């Protein structure tokens, strides 16, 4: 997988270094921006909450209150917009040289939309 270097995510796959341990968190966040690429879309998400998923490490828990970039698959059908509150499982993929957050599976859902003026 190749992704635009300006985003700093997943610059080379398959991973040849020591991969990160299995991890994941169920994230609730507010979309702050969306960029579309042929490989997928990048959502800038302000993390509002991150719940553990089973016994896996939850790296996203350290990002609550911060904005992260998340690579997601095709999501045009959801008509996502900045200000939407979404819920999705996220994992960190990469190795000691770098990596990024990825939406795990197709379980992205809109929790609520912000009203205009808010």
> What pLDDT does residue 77 have?
57
Percent of the chain with pLDDT over 70: 72
22: nearest Cα among 44, 55, 62, 49: 55
Q: Rounded to an integer, what distance in angstroms lies between the CA atom of residue 80 and that of residue 70?
A: 14
Where are the chain's structural domains?
5-112
> Mean per-residue pLDDT for 77-88?
84
Q: Rounded to an integer, what distance in angstroms lies between the CA atom of residue 16 and that of residue 54?
A: 27
Which range among 33-37, 76-80, 91-95 shows the weakest confidence by mean pLDDT? Answer: 76-80
The token pair that represents 64 in the structure block: 């609550």
Percent of the chain with pLDDT over 90: 47
Q: Find how far residue 86's CA is from the centre of its chain.
A: 11
85: nearest Cα among 25, 27, 38: 27
Q: Rounded to an integer, what distance in angstroms lies between the CA atom of residue 29 and that of residue 68?
A: 10
The token pair that represents 65 in the structure block: 């209150």
Q: Rounded to an integer, what distance in angstroms lies between the CA atom of residue 84 and that of residue 4?
A: 25
> Mean per-residue pLDDT for 82-92?
92
Q: What is the pTM of this model?
A: 0.77
pLDDT in tens, 19-69: 889 999 999 999 999 998 877 789 999 999 999 999 999 999 999 999 999
> What pLDDT does residue 28 have?
94
pLDDT at 110 over 90: no
The token pair that represents 108 in the structure block: 């992205």
Pick the CATH number of 5-112 from 1.10.3470, 2.40.50, 3.40.50, 3.30.1180: 2.40.50
Q: How confident is the model at residue 15 (pLDDT cuts 50, 70, 90)?
A: very low
């Amino acid at each position: 997988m190749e992704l635009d270097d300006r985003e700093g995510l997943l610059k080379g796959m398959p991973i040849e270094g020591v991969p990160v341990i299995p991890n994941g968190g169920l994230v609730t966040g507010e979309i702050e921006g969306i960029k579309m690429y042929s490989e997928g879309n990048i959502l800038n998400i302000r993390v509002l909450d991150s719940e553990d998923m089973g016994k896996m490490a939850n790296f996203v828990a350290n990002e609550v209150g911060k904005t992260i970039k998340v690579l997601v698959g095709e999501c045009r059908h959801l008509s996502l917009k900045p200000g939407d509150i979404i819920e999705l499982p996220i994992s960190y993929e990469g190795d000691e040289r770098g990596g990024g957050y990825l939406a795990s599976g197709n379980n992205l859902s809109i929790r609520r939309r912000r009203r205009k003026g808010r």
